[in-house]
Chain A
Amino acid sequence: MKRWFVLAIAVLALIGSAAPVAAQAKDTLVVALVSHAPTLDPHMHFERVGILVNINMFDSLLHKNRKLEYEPSLAMSWKTLNDTTWEFKLRKGVKFHNGDVMTAEDVKFSFDRVLEPGKEKKKSPQYGNIRAIKDVRIVDADTIHVVTEKPFPLLLERLVFFPIVPKKHIEKVGEEAFGTTAAVGTGPWKFVEWKRDQHIRLEAFDGHWRGKPAFKNLIVRNIPEVATQIAEMKTGGVDLIRNVSADLVPELKSHPQTYVSSAPILRVHYVELDMREAPFDKKAVRQAANYAIDKQAIIQKLMGGLGQQVATVVQPAAFGFEPEVKPFPYDPKKARELLAQAGHPNGVDITLHSAFVEFRPVFEAITQMLTEVGIRVNARMWDPGPAWNKFLQAEGKATNGYYGSWGNYSVFDADAVLHPLYHTEPGGWIGKWYTRVEGLDKLIDEARSTLNQAHRKRTYSQIQKLIREEAPAIFLWTQYDTLAISKRVDYAARGDEWLWLFDAKPKR
């Protein structure tokens, strides 16, 4: 028996010596994502994991720096000519990875392949983002005009991720090859290979207009399981992972080879309430639910302090935020009083749903706190797959509300959260089922159809006061994005959840 054991160890050691478990080469940066987007074509998907790869290969007209201020990228400057026309001056002499020089033709081509003017069926899932654009005109070699149907205040936000792609190249290789084996952009890294479900390998582009990135090789591995990502992190197989949950932060903070970086992001948590049905058709009950939650305790005890209370769903970082509107304080006594006033002195039974599995303990705490003031919750947790999708398509029936979050598509404007959550127009998202606040639709429409920022700001202030009073949701907190990073790499989490790896530098 003993001999066998020794032999087994010897075999293992032999395999071990041949196995590539050593840390990465100095000029290589390895990032792990839970999946890859189905295509490298930046216009033909709408997945965060795809955007994170695309931004390092492609440039857009505008860029946002670490402080999230606009910076020139492929456009040197921009201005509005009137309410519906924007002028962009293009950077001269920008080269694509294949050596072609970027022209105004490429810019127009990029818009047209998403807008597909005249075509009934649009193939780009990003069409909805820029559907307000009516026309893109080439004025001269370095100038384009973007014409919108109505005043479109969100245009600049939408253009921060709107990559410019090479017209000639795509016409030559075809769309499918462009998305799989022949992706070409103007960004800091160029495409080398994509091994399906394994990794995307990129290499620094010598001709990039910003200069060369610090890491020559950028590898984006596809590792779906978080436990595996962390094991890779600890053994140096990976240098950066995203979405580190609060319970894992202490472990990765104290590990000799890793550190943790977090930043408040646009994602806001809430419990949307169904205002069509009792008991949440009554304002007092909705307010009672808001008073019942000890937000600070949940942030501190269950989220590792990585959260910030908000008064509504509009975040401090978004345009239109009204600091005078304050969060509901934790006041269980007041909650019980309001509940009694609304005709429920002995409490009331409700059902809440959620598919937010990463925050299951938080959901449980929320339901517990509601139950304590007399809003007795039957809590149902779902897997965020087809079943949940089916539930949403049933217009949220069979529930009094649901706990979830909204990431604003990383657009720093109040509209990006107010419209999907609270506008009742048929094309909208959850608001069309749940929300019934008189006059709210009109205010949201008003704020999104003018370029007068002062007027927009006033309208958003009004909206926030209105929804704080009407409480169409239990307003909770903003989430933080937490990265774990290898100590050999210098990088910090950004408020827009981007991995802008041009900013990543080797340490020492």
Chain B
Amino acid sequence: MSPFLVRRLVRLAVVILGVSLVTFAILHASGDPVSLIMPEAPESDRAMLRKALGLHDPLPVQFARFVGNTVTGNFGKSFFHHGQSASALVLERMPTTLLLTVLSMGLALVVALPVGIYSAVRRGRAVDQLATGTVFLGQSMPVFWTGIMLILLFGVQWRVLPVSGWESWAAVLLPTATLSTFTAPLLLRIVRSSMLEVIGLDYVRTARAKGVSESLVIWRHALKNAALPLVTVTGLQFGLLLGGAVITETVFAIPGVGRLIVGAIRQLDFPVVQAGVFMLAMIVVSVNFLVDVLYLYLNPQIRIR
């Protein structure tokens, strides 16, 4: 394995430990779950429950136990979801969130790539100006607002798509579109600007001079070099999309991890929040690691550095 990848793997471990520590610290600073579980019970009953949940131990002891359990994949039982393990609750909902995120990313790329390339090639023309305007609009709209507007138009006004839920493919369309609206503009901008940079370079001019067809110049020669920033941003956007999925899941009543975590934060359900945040962090970190691996393929120079 190249030293580059080893360094990245070490960094990955550090990030995961950091995420665990920060989640743990913020949660324990945010209050006492027992008073939420038993709002009217006398202090003696609460103390008993605190003991049973392991919340009476000093914080370092609790953190050590948490890390130890995490390594073995055991996040403990949810305080609120009666008797169920926190990781099972998260895993049960993970496919939904991942599907939503991956579909949105896919849709965003499918839109951003051709439009971005086209507007770079036809710089300053009507299509380019329209695209730039759309980027501006798309990036200014908050996700929840986009979601509600799409519901009002497609669900209530025209009645062509279900308003909410996750029980048919038709129901998947609006949330996917909502989340892509948030990502596609940024990707489009990146594609456009890096293409613009690349197609002005000498080797592209050389390729053209050699008589290579325009489409081959763009898709083969130019795009491969323009792809590096796109891959970076796509990797980073994946994390943001997972974050955006939280809001989208709430607006469209989708049974995903984001909604679970938000509910768990409100109830101070420590094990569920920790399991959820940990697993999402794992996914984001893994995606970024994959991006690093892709770099190696796209730009051999990195292998040497």
Contacts and interface: CB of A to CB of B under 8 A. Distances in A.
Interface of A: 12-13, 15-16, 18-21, 35, 38-39, 41, 44-46, 120-122, 125, 127-129, 175-176, 179-180, 195-198, 221-225, 227-228, 231-232, 234-235, 237, 384-387, 389-390, 392-393, 420, 426-427, 429
Interface hub of B40, B43, B260, B266 (most chain A Cβ within 10 A): B40
B156 A12 contact: no
Contact of B268 (A16, A228, A389): A389
B174 to A, nearest CB: 10
Given A128-B41, A228-B253, A235-B155, A176 B164 contact: no
Contact of A196 (B42, B93, B265): B93
Contact of A429 (B40, B148, B250, B254): B40
B255 interface: yes
A176 B83 contact: yes
A12 B151 CA distance: 14
Interface in B160-180: 160-168, 170-171, 173
Contacts of B30: 386-387, 389-390
B211 interface: no
Nearest to A46: B39
B124 interface: no
A386 B52 contact: no
Given A15-B161, A386-B265, A427-B42, 14 more contacts: A15-B170, A16-B170, A38-B81, A121-B48, A121-B51, A121-B52, A127-B41, A128-B42, A197-B255, A224-B250, A227-B151, A228-B164, A386-B268, A392-B35
Nearest to A41: B82
B265 A385 contact: yes
Contacts of A128: 38, 40-42, 45
Given A196-B93, A427-B43, A225 B251 contact: yes
Contact of B170 (A19, A175, A196, A420): A19
Given A128-B40, A196-B93, A393-B31, A19 B168 contact: yes
Contacts of B259: 197, 224
A197 B260 CA distance: 8
B66 interface: no
A429 B155 contact: no
A44 B45 contact: no
B85 to A, nearest CB: 11
Interface hub of B32, B158, B165 (most chain A Cβ within 10 A): B165
Given A44-B82, A121-B49, A16 B159 contact: yes
B167 A228 contact: no
Contacts of A176: 82-84
A45 B259 CA distance: 19
Given A125-B37, A232-B163, A386-B268, A221 B263 contact: no
B9 interface: no
Given A196-B93, A198-B255, A179 B42 contact: no
User: What are the nearest 7 A-B pairs in CB distance?
Assistant: A16-B160, A427-B42, A197-B255, A386-B30, A19-B170, A39-B82, A389-B31
Given A38-B82, A176-B82, A426-B42, A221 B162 contact: no
A245 to B, nearest CB: 16
Nearest to A120: B48
Interface string B219-256: 00000000000000000000000000000001111111
Given A19-B168, A38-B78, A128-B41, A234 B156 contact: yes
Given A19-B170, A128-B45, A222-B253, A13 B40 contact: no
Contacts of B268: 386, 389
B81 A386 contact: no
Contact of B155 (A13, A125, A231): A231
Contacts of A227: 148, 151, 251
Interface string B262-275: 01011010000000
A221 B255 CA distance: 11
A460 B292 CA distance: 72
Contacts of B80: 38, 45
Contacts of A46: 39
A46 B45 CA distance: 16
A231 B82 contact: no
Nearest to A38: B81
5 contacts: A46-B39, A127-B41, A198-B255, A231-B164, A427-B42
Contact of B161 (A19, A45, A385): A19
B45 A127 contact: yes
Nearest to A427: B42
B152 interface: yes
Contacts of B161: 12, 15-16, 19, 21
Contacts of A18: 170
A330 to B, nearest CB: 33
Contacts of A20: 162, 167-168, 170
B212 interface: no
Interface string B72-88: 00000010111110000
A125 B81 contact: no
Contacts of B165: 198, 221, 237
Contacts of A122: 45, 48
Contacts of B255: 195-198, 222
B278 to A, nearest CB: 18
Contacts of A179: 82-83
Nearest to B29: A390
A228 B93 contact: no
B39 to A, nearest CB: 7
Contacts of A175: 82-83
Contacts of B152: 231
B57 interface: no
Interface in B130-174: 144, 148, 151-152, 154-156, 158-168, 170-171, 173
Contact of B173 (A15, A35, A127): A15
A121 B30 CA distance: 25
